[in-house]
Structure 1
Amino acid sequence: MFATPAYAQAAGASGGAAAFAQFIPLVLIFAIMYFLMIRPQQKRMKQHREMVATLKKGDQIVTQGGIIGKVASVRDDELEVEIATGVKVRLTRGSVSQVLSKTDPVAANS
């Protein structure tokens, strides 16, 4: 019963190598979380920003609320979307979740 504290004190005096060995799993966990969670989320955010920045008149979109419509006009940070014939709503660019079909620019015939 009295020998247990003596063994605990002797085991703790090993030095800096043990502290470094305890630090390695923490670094590995952070690296795994970065590659499995943080990096893919940043890529998705970048793709969404690019998609929203390239919206133009005539694109068919889906909003975060599930409304499907066609872009009628584009302003700075605002879109006017036609969801039915004669029915237009104003949305912020950030509320667009997906572009279903993009309008192609008309090619100049020479």
Structure 2
Amino acid sequence: MNYTLIIQLALMFGVLYLFMILPQQKKAKKEKEFESGLKVGDKIITKSGMHCKISEIAETTIVVETMSGKLKMEKSAISLEMSAALNKKA
């Protein structure tokens, strides 16, 4: 059996894990921590670009206040990067 082929495949999967899967897992963990740290009154920006203020929080959903009224949306619709930049400026 050709051991160089096995070594090449193992290296290929190692590089794939190191450069694709591991960073994606870190980002998902960071987003989960951000979502669990949200509280009423926080100012956020959604992934679609809406600027909102949190008025109610449930397990997977939130109710936000906008200029036109209240909306209910999923926590996953909040942009981590844009919301962090908004709160950093303020």
What residue ranges of structure 1 are gaps of 5+ in the alignment?
1-15, 103-110
Match of 2:18 among 22, 35, 44: 35
User: Looking at CA atoms only, which structure, 1 or 2, has the larger radius of gyration?
Assistant: 1
What residue ranges of structure 2 are gaps of 5+ in the alignment?
none
Q: Stretches of 4+ moved more than 6 A in 1?
A: none
How far apart are the structure 1 equivalents of 2:32 and 2:47?
A: 14
Show the counterpart of 2:53.
70
Please, what TM-score do these two structures have when normalized by structure 2? 0.83
Task: Figure out how many residues of one structure are paired with residues of the other and give that number.
Answer: 84
Please, what TM-score do these two structures have when normalized by structure 1? 0.69
Q: CA deviation at 1:76?
A: 2.2
Show the counterpart of 1:10.
none
Aligned-residue CA RMSD (Å): 1.6
Q: CA deviation at 1:65?
A: 1.4
Show the counterpart of 2:76.
94
Give me the identity figure in percent: 32
